[in-house]
Amino acid sequence: MSIIWILISFTYLSYLHGACIIFILSIASVNFLFVKIFARTKYFSFVFWIFNIFFLLCNRVYEGYSFYMIGQRWAYLDNFRGTFRWHICFNFVVLRMISFGYDYHWAHRDSHFDHKKHIQRCDICKSGKTCYQSLQERGVQNDKFSFMTYLSYLVYAPLYLAGPIVSFNAFASQLDVPQNNLSARDIAWYGLRWVFSLLLMELMTHLFYYNAFAISGMWKELHPMDVFIIGYGVLIFMWLKFFLIWRYFRFWSLICGIEVPENMPRCINNCYNLETFWKNWHASYNKWLVRYLYIPLGGTRRKLLNVWVVFTFVAIWHDLEWKLLSWAWLTCLFFIPEMILKSAVNAFQVESTHGEFVVRELSAVAGAITITCLMVANLVGFVIGPSGISWLISQFLNREGLPVLAGMLLTFYVGTKLMFHIHDAKQSSS
């Protein structure tokens, strides 16, 4: 099965990258040897991260390298680099290389995953099927950690360009036993819903000009209310764009029998805190970060410190740009009061109806502020850049902007209360 997928994927890669397959195979092979040699050593995690971040940065700095760097006789291969810059999507390959390394490293240690307890709590596993967490945590047999399976995992065609991200354990365990959680009818309906979403994107592209205003810089000449509408519209457009990309590749993977996490399980308009937003935006990447970075760093015991490391890595992983680092550090700053507030709420024992009402109202206010901060962080990271922060603040803290800011917070407050009611309705129905 692995050989078949390698042949399919390399046909795909030869079109995308041409002669640059040499670079991809070289880095992947070096990583495989590194894991096999050092996986059982004491300092594996530290050296392994340095090793992979080094390649991640070098790929960007040298723009995917050139064959003439190897020697003049190889320079002619630079004319056959394919249709797509290989080092852009190689960021996803780096995540898979880290996943393979850690899963192999943990395969030689005692597992803390209690499968029996998990089945008692998991509705999917209770029904006789196998959920993604179970596939990921149970591990696979040693013979699955072969070079062929590793290579088919790295260049698996349906997920190669953009994900969603699947762990090595979950991928390897489905090669011989394809997923059975979704029937052919479910997969067909999933694809049809994707077509409807594509039609919605076409309508937005032709009828709404949020991105045109943002890219051209014309938003600087507009009223604060218009800036708010355009900023919110850009985020909705961005959400739908990634929704289409990730669901297309997940649909392709499901057809091939490999189930991967859903990247957009919840709409952006149904997230009122940062933790919920990140769990439901690039959800598969969030699962990856929690498993391979957040938990090894200490998890919730060092949460205030860990978020800085995690989001800095996320920014560097996306690209080497100051605006992305600004976005990451702004997000961390906004995370801190949310974490403190959550800890305070959990510690506060509500014993009366009045107390529940106060906590709920304060949570709604906090949700409105969080949504506003989330908008600012994403606009800085993906639209206006760090230099636009002072301009954005000045626009909303003047005579014209303050009423707009108040109306925006009130709107988000009402929206957060609505999200609470939706959550309560789901809880009561289940």
- Note whether 289 and 341 are same-domain residues: yes
The set of catalytic residues is 318
Q: How far apart are alpha carbons 111 and 109 in whole angstroms?
A: 6
Tell me what the mean pLDDT of segment 25-52 comes to.
Answer: 91
- Note whether 73 and 169 are same-domain residues: yes
Q: What are the pLDDT digits (tens) for 61-118?
A: 888 888 888 888 888 888 888 888 888 888 999 999 999 999 999 987 766 777 777 7
- Note whether 142 and 184 are same-domain residues: no
Q: Which of 195, 222, 256 is the last residue of a domain?
A: 256
- Note whether 136 and 276 are same-domain residues: no
- Note whether 237 and 121 are same-domain residues: no
Taking the CA atoms of residue 139, residue 294, residue 96 and residue 2 in that order, the dihedral angle to the nearest 10 degrees is: 10
- Note whether 18 and 162 are same-domain residues: yes
**Does the structure show a pLDDT above 90 at 30?**
yes
Tell me what the mean pLDDT of segment 142-169 comes to.
Answer: 90
pLDDT of residue 340: 74
Query: Number of structural domains, the chain?
Result: 3
**Does the structure show a pLDDT above 90 at 300?**
no
Cα angle 317, 318, 322 (rounded to 5 degrees) comes to: 100
pLDDT of residue 352: 64
Give how far the C-alpha of residue 356 lies from the chain's centroid of Cα atoms, to the nearest Å: 34
Q: What are the pLDDT digits (tens) for 177-231?
A: 888 888 899 999 999 999 999 999 999 888 888 778 777 777 777 787 887 888 7
- Note whether 22 and 113 are same-domain residues: yes
The parent domain of residue 7 ranges over: 1-174
pLDDT of residue 128: 75
- Note whether 60 and 155 are same-domain residues: yes
Question: Among residues 59, 319, 24, 62, which one has the least CA distance to residue 154?
Answer: 24
Helix locations, 269-400, DSSP H: 274-280, 283-289, 303-318, 322-347, 353-379, 389-396
pLDDT of residue 353: 67
- Note whether 365 and 332 are same-domain residues: yes
Percent of the chain as helix, strand, coil, to the nearest 5: 80, 0, 20
Q: What are the pLDDT digits (tens) for 325-366?
A: 887 888 888 777 777 777 766 666 556 666 677 778 878 888
**Position 252 confidence tier, pLDDT thresholds 50, 70, 90:** very high
**Position 1 confidence tier, pLDDT thresholds 50, 70, 90:** low
Q: What are the pLDDT digits (tens) for 376-402?
A: 777 766 666 666 677 777 778 888 888
- Phi and psi at residue 320, in whole multiples of 5°? -90, 80
Neighbours of 79 (CB within 10 A): 9
Quote the tokens at residue 88: 């852009």
Cα separations in angstroms, 54 against 230, 277, 283: 38, 30, 25
**Residue 190, C-beta contacts closer than 8 angstroms, at least 6 positions apart:** 182, 247, 251, 254
- Note whether 91 and 230 are same-domain residues: no
Cα separations in angstroms, 37 against 85, 105, 111, 283: 31, 11, 21, 32
* Number of alpha helices (DSSP H) and beta strands (DSSP E) in the chain: 20, 0
Question: Among residues 176, 188, 164, 317, which one has the least CA distance to residue 249?
Answer: 164
**Does the structure show a pLDDT above 80 at 136?**
yes
- Note whether 7 and 134 are same-domain residues: yes
In a domain, 262, yes or no: no
